[in-house]
Structure 1
Amino acid sequence: MSKTTGSATEQSLRRLVAQDVAIWAHHASKTPGWRFYARHLMLRPGFNFVLGHRIARRLRRVPVVGPALFRIGLFTLEMVYSSEIGATAEIGGGLYIPHPFGIVIGNGAKVAKGVTILQNVTLGRRNPADTQMPVVGDGAFVGAGAVLVGDIGIGAGATVAANALVLEDVPANARAIGNPARIIPARSA
Structure 2
Amino acid sequence: MFKRLKKDVQVVFERDPAATGVWEVILCYPGLHAIWMHRLAHKLYKRKWIFWARFISHINRFLTGIEIHPGAVLGEGLFIDHGMGIVIGETCEIGENVTIYKGVVLGGTGKEHGKRHPTIGDNVVVSSNATVLGSIKIGNNAKIGAGSVVLREVPDNCTVVGVPGKVVVCDGRKIVKAGTADIDLEHGKLPDPIAEMLNCQQQRIEVLEKKIVKLEGQKDANQSL
TM-score in same-fold range (> 0.5): yes
CA distance in 1 between partners of 2:124 and 2:173 (Å): 18
Match of 1:105 among 85, 88, 91: 88
The alpha-carbon deviation at position 188 of structure 1 amounts to 7.0
Identify which of 44, 47, 62 aligns with 1:79.
Answer: 62
TM-score (norm 1): 0.79
Tell which has more relative contact order, 1 or 2 (C-alpha 8 A, sep 6+): 1
Pick closer, same or farther for the CA change 1:36–1:57 going to 2, 3 Å: farther
Superposition deviation, residue 29 in structure 1: 6.1
Q: Which 5+ residue runs of structure 1 have no aligned equivalent?
A: 1-12
- Which residue is equivalent to 2:140? 156
Aligned partners of 1:17 and 1:93 also within 8 Å: no
* 2:31 match: 46
Letter in 1 for 2:31: G
Which residue identity lines up with residue 75 of structure 2 in the other structure? Answer: G
- Residue 3 of structure 1 aligns with which residue? none
User: Is the Cα contact below 8 Å between 1:16 and 1:92 reproduced in 2?
Assistant: no
Structure 2 stretches lacking a partner, 5+ long = 175-225
Cα distance in structure 1, aligned partners of 2:127 and 2:29: 19
Query: Matched residue pairs, number?
Result: 172
TM-score (norm 2): 0.67
From 3, 6, 12, the equivalent of 1:24 is: 12
Alpha-carbon RMSD across the aligned residues, in angstroms, is: 2.7
In the alignment, the residues of structure 2 paired with residue 128 and residue 61 of structure 1 have an alpha-carbon distance, to the nearest angstrom, of 22
Larger Rg: 2
Q: Report the Cα distance in structure 2 between the residues aligned to 1:127 and 1:113, rounded to whole angstroms.
A: 28
Between Structure 1 and Structure 2, which shows a larger proportion of helix residues?
2
